[in-house]
Structure 1
Amino acid sequence: MIPTVVWGTGNVGRAAIRAVAAHPMLSLVAVLVSSPAKVGKDAGDLGELGRHLGVAATDDVDAVLSTAPRAVVYAASGDVRPDGAIEDIGRALRTGAVVVTPSLYGMYDPTNAPAEIRDVLLASVEAGGGSLFVSGVDPGWANDVLPVLISGLGSDIDAVRCQEIFDYSTYDQEEAVRHLIGMGHPLDYEPLMLAEGIPTMIWGGQLRMMARALGAQLDGIEETLERRPLETTVVTDTMGEFPAGTQGAVRLEVRGVVEGEPRIVIEHVTRIHPGCAPDWPTPPGGGAGAHRVIIEGRPRIEVTVEATDEGENRAAGGNATAVGRLVNAIDWLVEAGPGLYDALDVPLRPAVGRLGKK
């Protein structure tokens, strides 16, 4: 068994607890939290498993890392505290742990990562013998291994498009939805996630990875952005009121240009209510979210994936699949040895030993 720590218990961390508990080769040995209200709570309760796991949450990072766990699922946010996330992950790497995380956008593609991030983490790997695999919570697999895999089913390829279509009305992450993405703010408010250059910082690494896998050379990366106001006031159970006239939907594209044309595109269509921007792409059947890959070429191939989880928090399904990709990579990473890994290095892992098990 691989002793594994889950660090953080938000939308990602809850799913991580469940994924580690289900994995036959992993043993959950600690859960790290930042909220005093969660200290002492059983991991099974925090992970909404419906049973106790016998692991009490703690905020004592030093004590947990002093045990030199073999793996750490780092689920704490890096959106508004990237320096803190880098410091935390570096500490875990220096203990020799395998670290998997969605929290560092800049490390989706370690080959082309900013030196100020890559060099710090590589030094931690070299100092402690750990390893790092970063894959997005969007989820990452929908913007890297899935399109690359599907591309191998075709002959001629004109373009690759990855879509995330997301309804935030049941989501429980108000800070990100309101302030980072801008839902409920006036349209003249510039949220950080939509500022020029930020989408490229977040998803550019995945474009570069796909281009590398397809043997293509990017001429550059372009961004497009559309925003729509709410026509009526919306009230959500998890985040409260979003007034009419404020931002209700966003559509952005990050486009990898090959030979003068946008050939590799990551598109995000997000809403706070399904009635906003109904002419934009929607999930099939009116669900909370979907991830779609479209290969334009011969043949034209379209694959749509929907995932649901956590009952009323239907949008958490995407988080759960992102976490599954990361947690299921841990045993492979342990065998692979120290280093910085990306989605093209780490194979998709089957759920061995879990069919029919709860």
Structure 2
Amino acid sequence: MVSTIVWGTGNIGRAAIRAVEAHPALKLTAVLVHDPAKVGRDAGELGGLGHRLGVAASTDVEAVLATAPGAVVYAASGDIRPDEALADIVRAVRAGAVVVTPSLYALYDQRGAPPELRQPVLAAIAEGRGSLFVSGVDPGWANDVLPLLVSGLATTVDAVRCQEIFDYSTYDQPDSVRYLVGMGQPMDYEPPMIAPTVPSMVWGGQVRLMARALGAELDEVREAVERRPLDATVTTASMGEFLAGTQGAVRFEVQGIVGGEPRIVIEHVTRIHASCAPDWPLAPDGVGAHRVIIEGRPRIEVTVEAADEDGNRSAGGNATAVGRLVGAIDWLVAAEPGLYDALDVPLRPIAGRLGRRRP
């Protein structure tokens, strides 16, 4: 079995602990945390499993990497600490581990990543013989392997659209919802998530990856953003009150332009309440879904709903993103050391998983 570390125990790390524990070819051997209050706590507790795994959380990165793990699931955030995340990941790769992570947006399309990001990783691979696979937490499969797979069912493809549709009233991350996304803020507030160039920085790599797979030459990558205010004050169960007149919904697109037209589009439609922007696309259950639309002949539309942690749609999205990453580990261990992206790593069934006891 592949000795596997989970580094970080937030929303992604919790799901990663459960995914590693469930994988028949992996063995969870260590958990790394940043918060001193989590040191010594059992991984089963941190992962929400309801039972102990006999693995205590640690902050000692050096000692954990010195055990020569076969794999590291790097689940710590790279949103506001990209340099630190890169340094952590390079350190693990140099130690000889296969590393899987959603935390380095620019490496979603690793071939088009800037040299200052690519070169340290390639140097660590050459030195330590480890590997790195980066896939999005959006989740990545919804913006790469799924649309590309579905496009293969069409006779002609005019455009590919990937949508995330989500009601944030169920999302227990108040700082992110209010300040990163801007829900409940005045309409003259500029949410960091949709500031100019930020959507392209985060999702542009996935647009370029799909273009490469489809053999399309991009003219450019554009952004389009629309925001709507709340007509009435609403109250959510986990985040409290959001006032009338403040931002209640945001819709943005990252567009891959081919021949002057948006042909490859990643779109987010998010609300804090279903009453805001009812004319925008809605999830079938009104909560959350990922949708792929292939405009062509025939027109194909696929909607995926995922739920985890007692039905939570956000947790379901995280879990499927983690499933893609953790499910790739044994394939990466058997492959040559290298820097991989979603077009390199197959999405495949995991032998021995059917009927396995849920962690």
Same fold (TM over 0.5): yes
Aligned to 1:176: 176
Q: Is the 8 A contact 2:305 2:313 kept in 1?
A: no
User: TM-score normalised to the size of structure 2?
Assistant: 0.97
Q: Is the 8 A contact 1:228 1:249 kept in 2?
A: yes
Query: Aligned residue pairs: how many?
Result: 357
Q: CA deviation at 1:312?
A: 5.5
Secondary structure, aligned partner of 1:296: strand
Q: CA deviation at 1:274?
A: 2.1
Q: Is the 8 A contact 2:93 2:124 kept in 1?
A: yes
Distance between the aligned counterparts of 2:350 and 2:239, measured in 1? 34
* Residue 45 of structure 2 is aligned to residue 45 of structure 1: yes
Q: CA deviation at 1:114?
A: 1.4
Aligned to 1:97: 97
* Residue 351 of structure 2 is aligned to residue 352 of structure 1: yes
Aligned to 1:292: 291
Cα distance per residue 1:255-289 (max 9 Å; x no partner): 11111111111100011222221111111122x21
Q: Is the 8 A contact 1:235 1:242 kept in 2?
A: yes
Amino acid at match of 1:65: L
Distance between the aligned counterparts of 1:293 and 1:89, measured in 2? 31
* Residue 318 of structure 2 is aligned to residue 319 of structure 1: yes
User: TM-score normalised to the size of structure 1?
Assistant: 0.97
Q: Is the 8 A contact 1:172 1:313 kept in 2?
A: no
Distance between the aligned counterparts of 2:259 and 2:308, measured in 1? 41
Cα distance per residue 1:107-147 (max 9 Å; x no partner): 10000011111112222222211111111111000000111
Distance between the aligned counterparts of 1:234 and 1:69, measured in 2? 48
Aligned to 1:234: 234
Secondary structure, aligned partner of 2:92: helix
Cα distance per residue 1:190-231 (max 9 Å; x no partner): 122111111111111111111111111111111100011122
Aligned to 1:156: 156
Q: Is the 8 A contact 1:167 1:315 kept in 2?
A: no
Secondary structure, aligned partner of 2:274: coil
Q: Is the 8 A contact 2:216 2:258 kept in 1?
A: yes
Q: Is the 8 A contact 1:11 1:172 kept in 2?
A: no
Amino acid at match of 1:343: A
Distance between the aligned counterparts of 2:220 and 2:276, measured in 1? 32
Amino acid at match of 1:207: V
Structure 1 residues 187 and 3: CA distance shift in structure 2, 3 A:
same
Amino acid at match of 2:157: I
Distance between the aligned counterparts of 1:178 and 1:34, measured in 2? 24
Cα distance per residue 1:220-244 (max 9 Å; x no partner): 1111000111223333333333322
Aligned to 2:55: 55
Cα distance per residue 1:45-85 (max 9 Å; x no partner): 11111211111111111111111111000001111111111
* Residue 246 of structure 2 is aligned to residue 265 of structure 1: no
Aligned to 1:30: 30
Q: CA deviation at 1:186?
A: 1.2
Structure 1: which 4+ aligned runs deviate by more than 4 Å? none
Amino acid at match of 1:118: R
Q: CA deviation at 1:355?
A: 1.3
Alpha-carbon RMSD across the aligned residues, in angstroms, is: 1.2
Secondary structure, aligned partner of 1:187: coil
Q: CA deviation at 1:311?
A: 1.3
Structure 1 residues 122 and 238: CA distance shift in structure 2, 3 A:
farther
* Residue 10 of structure 2 is aligned to residue 10 of structure 1: yes
Aligned to 1:342: 341
Distance between the aligned counterparts of 2:223 and 2:145, measured in 1? 22
Cα distance per residue 1:318-342 (max 9 Å; x no partner): 0000000000000000011211100
Q: Is the 8 A contact 1:9 1:76 kept in 2?
A: yes
